[in-house]
Amino acid sequence: MKFERLNFHKDLLKGIAKLGFERCTPVQEQSLPESLAGKDIITQAQTGTGKTAVYLLSILNKLISDRKVVRNPSALIMVPTRELAIQVDYDAKSLGKYLPFRSLAVYGGVGYAKQESELSSGVDIIAATPGRMIDLFKSKTLSLSNIDQFIIDEADRMFDMGFTPDIRYIAEHLPRNRSRQTMLFSATIDNRVIRLASKYMKPDPILVEIEPEQVTVDLIDQKLVYVSNEEKLSTLMGLLKRPVFERVIIFTNMKRTAERLGWKLVGNGFPAKVITGDVAQSKRQKIIDRMKSGRVKILVATEVAARGLHIEDVSHVINYDLPNDAANYVHRIGRTARAGKTGIAYSLVCEDHALNLPKIESFIDCKIKRGWVEESEMVKDRAGSFRKQRNKEKGRESRHSAGKNAFFTAEQKRNKRPIKKKLRSIKKRADSTNKRKPLPSSQEERIAYYKKKYGEDFTSTTKTS
C-alpha cells in the first residue's frame, strides 16, 4: 500500500518522499489505519520493520489535525536506550521537515543544561529514556499536563532492563482528565506486556502481530561458521577481507571481549571502533555519526548497541559470540536489512557458545545454513598479546599516579613542580649528640639516677640476697 492512500497532509507526504519511502511495510500497512483513527494499539514487531514510522506519522498527523502549535509536549515516546532516543528524534525531524513542530531527545549520560534549555524554548514531541525523563519531571522542568499520545517502544526491552517501575510512575502521572491514545510496541507479547496494557490502555486495544521469521528469514541471509576458540579471530579477519564486507557491525557478549577484539583488529590493520557501556555518550555518538557517514567501516559493539542503533546500508552483521538470549539474536541481525532492504548475517559458533544455537533456531523457527571460510582466507594474528599491552598501560597509569599525582597539589600539578617533603627536625641535646646516655653500671648509681629523674619517692624493687 502506498502512503498516499492514507490521506496524509501534503507537507507530511513531502517529508515521507524526501526519505525515499513509497510503500508501507507490513507493520505499517496493518498498524497505521488503526493508529491514525486514534485507537490504542499493541504491535508485535522486530526492529527494522518500520514500526518507528507508525507512531511518528500518527503523532505528526494528529498535530496537523489539531491545527495548533502549543510548544508544550503533547506526545511522549518512551524508549530503553540513549541511541534509540536520538534515532527517534532524528526520524521525527526528518519526517516533519516541512512541518512547524519540534521534537527533542531526552536521555542521561550528558548534562542537563542543553536539554533544559530546549524544553524552555518549547517542544511538541519528546523521545525519552525513563531515568532522565523522571528527573526532569520531578524538577518541574518538563510538564506532562498536555500529553495526549503516549508511546512505549521496545516494551520487552524495558522490562528486561528493569524499567517497569519507571514506566508505571510516568503513566500514573499522565493527565487523567483528557482522552489519551496509547501505543505499545514490543518484539514479544507476554504477560508483562498484557498487564501493562490492561492498566494503562483503553479496553480492547488493537493487536497487530508481525511474525519474527518474516524479518529474519525472508530479508536476511543467515550463515553459521563453526570455529574453534583459537581460530575465531583469524576466521573473522578472513571474512572482513572479503570485498563484499562494506559496512559491518560485530557483536560480542562481553565488554572485555569487545575491547580486546577492537584492539586486535586495529593491530592487524582493520580500522575498527568499539562501543560499550563504558564509552561516554559524546564519544559514542561521534562513532555512530562516523559510521553513518561511511568514515568508519567496522564497528564492534556489545548488547548496549543491539537495539536502537539505526545505521543505513549495513551490509553485514557478525555475531562474534552467539547471544545467550535468542531474542537478542533477532535484534542484532536486525541492524541489517532495514526498511525492506536485504542483508547478510554471519554467526561464529565456537565451543563456548555452541549451546545457544538450538534456542536461537527454535526461536526463529528456522535452521540456519552453514557458511565457510577457507583455510587460505584465514588471517594470522600479528597484533601481539592484549593482556600484556593492558598490563603495560596499567603500569604506566600506576606509576604516573603513585610517582607524581600522589605528591602534587592542584596548583603544583598545573605548574609541574613537585612538593619537597618536609622532614621533622630533631632537637639536639646540649652535648650535641643524639645518642641516649647509658645507664650507670652500679645499683646505687642507678637508684640515684632514677631518684633524680622521678623524685625522692622512688624506691628500688631489686631483690637483695
- Indicate if 214-388 has the same CATH topology as 3-210: yes
Counting as low any pLDDT under 50, the low residues of the chain are 213-216, 402, 404-407, 417, 419, 421-423, 426, 463-465
Number of residues assigned to the chain: 465
Q: What is the pLDDT of residue 305?
A: 57
Q: Closest Cα to residue 284, out of 295, 275, 296, 293? A: 275
- In single-letter form, the type of residue at position 314 comes to V
Topology given in CATH for the domain delimited by 3-210: Rossmann fold (3.40.50)
- SS3 for 4-50 is HHHCCCHHHHHHHHHCCCCECCHHHHHHHHHHHCCCCEEEECCCCCC
Q: What is the pLDDT of residue 155?
A: 87
Q: What is the pLDDT of residue 464?
A: 45
Q: What is the pLDDT of residue 388?
A: 63
d(CA 225, CA 304): 24
User: What Å distances lie between residue 82 and 277, 309, 381, CA to CA?
Assistant: 11, 9, 35
Q: What is the pLDDT of residue 344?
A: 92
Residues 43-60: b if buried by 16+ CB within 10 A, e if exposed:
bbbbbbbbbbbbbbbbbb
Superfamily of domain 214-388: P-loop containing nucleotide triphosphate hydrolases (3.40.50.300)
Q: What is the pLDDT of residue 224?
A: 94
Q: What is the pLDDT of residue 111?
A: 87
Is the CA virtual torsion 132, 55, 172, 145 positive or negative? positive
Q: What is the pLDDT of residue 368?
A: 92
Q: What is the pLDDT of residue 81?
A: 87
3 state DSSP class of 178: coil
Give the residue carrying C-alpha cell 499536563: 145
Q: What is the pLDDT of residue 157?
A: 81
d(CA 215, CA 342): 10
User: What Å distances lie between residue 70 and 99, 102, 148, 271, 387, CA to CA?
Assistant: 14, 10, 13, 47, 57
Could you state, in order of their start, the residue ranges of all structural domains in the chain?
3-210, 214-388
| Non-local CB neighbours of 17 within 8 Å, separated by 6+ positions | none
d(CA 180, CA 146): 10
Give the residue carrying C-alpha cell 502481530: 209
